[in-house]
Structure 1
């Protein structure tokens, strides 16, 4: 029987896209794409999710790409612009789950220096039964250790839990650990997929 629902945050409970910021900074779209794919990359952002300070991450990247020094600094100075609206339908599902008696948790890759922007947009997470943030643990998904921290800290069983994430590599790790999983993508009807797992709101 499913007792626990575990949400990733970015692109599951809240929209996030670096282009929300950088489309107004770069006149040339192709240069913007080059910058996002080769300078402020996913791996670089992940270093902050692992616990590296934003200031150090920016400084180190500016040393490699001095041409883009200002644009790199802007990543931190205007980080909140990259965070879009909450995904209202999914947040409503989370609220229903809480009211229905399920235990609801968060498991997210996020920098401790920027996650307050999300908490401000989505105050419902204050009602979650627990949250594990990668930067506080020094390990990120899809590393199985982060999932194990959640399980052990809150005394959960993977087979009694549903894990929801937008990244397939994170879903695959969860599946190997015994979680029920939902790979959330754009236009996914989360409530319907939960119902297929006999989770009813």
Structure 2
């Protein structure tokens, strides 16, 4: 593949550019490991949380759970209330690569599964989230990766050529979703591998 084969680089955000771990605040809120595991497996589950990424309002999300688990109301509300602790820092080595790509003239955007309000909070805390040409946030458009519609929406919003677009994501399912939409895509497991993948693809910075 030649250098000119990739004209657009699209970054995922969570666990690629930002660290995310809900256990950070909940290790304090629910100190017992077994109780905490039960809570995440049965109350504030991944499937529940991803609906906020799809655009569901946090108030509605909380009330749905509280109706089923009234004894856990305080901890349910603590999920959103302590969200900032779940995102404690950026992956600086990944941010360095992203900024280098921008400086060297590459067209860089972001595509993320993120609730609308928490993404804006993250933008206020982390300047680099404002430095690309733009971002598609799942909570804004009402669809999530790996649904085909979100990749197509990103292409339309930023006038990308799918066959000339490279996507970087930590989720194999999302990587496959991008490939199904006609993009190139690499599975992110760390900045060193990302640098190697970019070199193999002829994307210099």
Which TM-score bucket, shorter chain as reference? over 0.9
| 1:151–1:157 Cα contact (<8 Å) kept | yes
3-state DSSP of counterpart to 1:86: coil
**Are 1:41 and 2:45 an aligned pair?**
yes
Please report the RMSD computed on the Cα atoms of aligned residues, expressed in angstroms.
Answer: 1.2
**Are 1:84 and 2:95 an aligned pair?**
no
| 2:113–2:144 Cα contact (<8 Å) kept | yes
3-state DSSP of counterpart to 1:24: helix
Give 2:188's match in structure 1, choosing from 179, 184, 190.
Answer: 184
Q: How far apart in 1 are the matches of 2:85 and 2:129? A: 20
Q: How far apart in 2 are the matches of 1:14 and 1:181? A: 19
Q: How far apart in 1 are the matches of 2:59 and 2:161? A: 38
Q: How far apart in 1 are the matches of 2:44 and 2:56? A: 15
| Structure (1/2) with the larger strand percentage | 1
| Structure (1/2) with the larger helix percentage | 2
| 1:40–1:72 Cα contact (<8 Å) kept | yes
Q: How far apart in 2 are the matches of 1:67 and 1:86? A: 35
| 1:54–1:113 Cα contact (<8 Å) kept | no
Q: Residue in 2 aligned with 1:112?
A: 116
**Are 1:138 and 2:142 an aligned pair?**
yes
Q: How far apart in 1 are the matches of 2:195 and 2:122? A: 22
**Are 1:27 and 2:34 an aligned pair?**
no
3-state DSSP of counterpart to 1:47: helix
Q: Residue in 2 aligned with 1:103?
A: 107
Q: How far apart in 2 are the matches of 1:4 and 1:167? A: 20
Q: How far apart in 2 are the matches of 1:39 and 1:145? A: 29
Query: Which segments of 5 or more consecutive residues in structure 2 lack a partner in the other structure?
Result: none
Q: How far apart in 2 are the matches of 1:183 and 1:56? A: 34
Give 1:53's match in structure 2, choosing from 57, 72, 77.
Answer: 57
**Are 1:154 and 2:158 an aligned pair?**
yes
Q: How far apart in 1 are the matches of 2:30 and 2:91? A: 27
Q: How far apart in 2 are the matches of 1:93 and 1:122? A: 16
Note the C-alpha offset of 1:68.
1.3
**Are 1:5 and 2:9 an aligned pair?**
yes
Counterparts of 1:154-173 in structure 2, within 5 Å, are 154-173=158-177
Extract structure 1 runs of 4+ deviating beyond 4 A: none
Q: How far apart in 1 are the matches of 2:134 and 2:67? A: 38
Q: How far apart in 1 are the matches of 2:88 and 2:32? A: 22
| 1:171–1:182 Cα contact (<8 Å) kept | yes
| 2:93–2:191 Cα contact (<8 Å) kept | no
Query: Which segments of 5 or more consecutive residues in structure 1 lack a partner in the other structure?
Result: none
